[in-house]
Structure 1
Amino acid sequence: MFSIWKVSLLFVVTLALAAATIPGKKDRPLLGGWRAVNVTQKDRGLQMALTVAIREHNVASNDKFISVISNVIQARRKIVSGVLYDLTVQTAQTACRKSNSAPENCSENELSRLSRHKKCSFVVYLVPWLKKEELKQNSCA
């Protein structure tokens, strides 16, 4: 006869196998987990996160010239008490000096001939209903 622990073990294994074979379960992200953002579509939250990221990056950097985002490589978001954006981008240095130009007036059209391109990772925290914007992580290579 089966003992109670063998029946329990068999039940647990059966449940695990059933859960593993449910179609579509693997494709859905975890609730509260990271979700990819389509960078080719106009996403208002993504645009806001990119603006905050490059603005704060320019403030924190020791560069004499303003940088702009030239390419969004990857973006994902996570809903927390606001929205967290994890961004991987390529930046390019413009010919606009920080001391002479307002960043919003300096675009990719002003890229210098010797523009340095960097791959940067940013984590931006946004709470739009409280008008809160914060660059949590900023690293470039």
Structure 2
Amino acid sequence: MARPLCTLLLLLAALAVALAWSPEEDRIIGGIYKADLSDEWVQRALHFAISEYNKATEDEYYRCPLRVLRARQQTVARTNYFFDVEVGRTTCAKSQPNLDTCAFHEQPELQKKQLCSFQIYEIPWEDKRSLVNSRCQEA
């Protein structure tokens, strides 16, 4: 009679451990993982990448992400962010003061969509951020 009870207790303990297990706890140090787009730091990194991208383009119109195709991050001595983003041209000129509410061109040929990959590294405690790699091509 004691043996089935022990087996049941072991199964319940294994189930409790399985339910409490979190994939984040099992991450390999230095590994690259899916980034949470709702995270404030991920949003800051993406905003920084788009801002640097806009500074580098000669287009007079501001470009914004149409959609984020993939966002990943890696934590080592700093945090590396990797983004694959579809970027579109807006109706706002770069010289406008508020670029947060820019609409995209409705005509596809004026939107000039691009697929971009960005790599950003950040050291938050030093308030240091840099665009390491940026590569775009027409979509």
Tell me whether the two structures share a fold, i.e. TM-score over 0.5.
yes
Give 2:88's aligned residue: 92
Percent identity reads: 29
Instruction: Report the residue type matching 2:90 in the other structure.
Output: T
**Which residue matches 2:99?**
106
Cα distance between partner residues in 2 of 1:31 and 1:130: 21
1:121 to 117, 122, 126: 117
Distance of 1:91 and 1:82 partners within structure 2: 26
* Number of residue pairs matched by the alignment: 111
Contact residue 35 and residue 77 of structure 1 kept, 8 A: yes
Does 2:75 match 1:79? Answer: yes
Once residues 44 and 117 of structure 1 are traced to their aligned partners in structure 2, the CA distance between those partners, rounded to angstroms, is: 26
Query: Letter of the aligned partner of 1:53 in structure 2?
Result: A
Are 2:91 and 2:102, in contact at CA under 8 Å, matched by a contact in 1? no
TM-score normalised by length of structure 1:
0.71
Match of 1:49?
Answer: 45
* Equivalent residue, structure 1, for 2:35: 37
Question: Which residue number in structure 2 is paired with residue 58 of structure 1?
Answer: 54
Deviation, 1:79, is 0.8
Structure 1 vs Structure 2 CA RMSD? 2.0
Cα distance between partner residues in 2 of 1:117 and 1:58: 14
Q: Unpaired runs of 5+ in structure 2?
A: 1-25
Matched with 1:9 is none
- Residue 89 of structure 1 deviates from its aligned partner by 0.7
Would the aligned equivalents of 2:71 and 2:81 in 1 still touch at CA under 8 Å? yes
1:14 is matched with none
